[in-house]
Amino acid sequence: IPKIMRVKMVFGEPMYFPTPEKSNDPEELRKATDSLMKKLQELSGQEYVDIYASQAKEALDEQRRRERKESQE
């Protein structure tokens, strides 16, 4: 049975981006994506980390393997 929890929704100011028909330029699309992600980060209060989650997980796993190996020596 699902647990009922309170949900908080936060809405920011409207954002406007060029329509894809007007801008298929990868650089413009990247700027729009970065702008959107920055606003989401600000609204959520999360810290910006310039790394993909999968890369961070791999780095943590590697660090744990090294620490385990060192503790066994």
Q: Determine the structural domain holding residue 41 and report its residue range.
A: 26-72
**Domain total for the chain?**
1
> What's the chain's length in residues?
73
pTM over 0.75: no
5 domain-assigned: no
How far is the C-alpha of 36 from the C-alpha of 45, rounded, in Å? 14
Reported as a single tens digit per residue, the pLDDT across 50-71 is 888 899 899 999 999 999 999 8
pLDDT in tens, 13-47: 998 887 767 677 888 888 888 899 899 999 988 88
- Structural domain includes residue 46: yes
CA of 64: how far to CAs of 8, 43, 71, in Å?
35, 32, 10
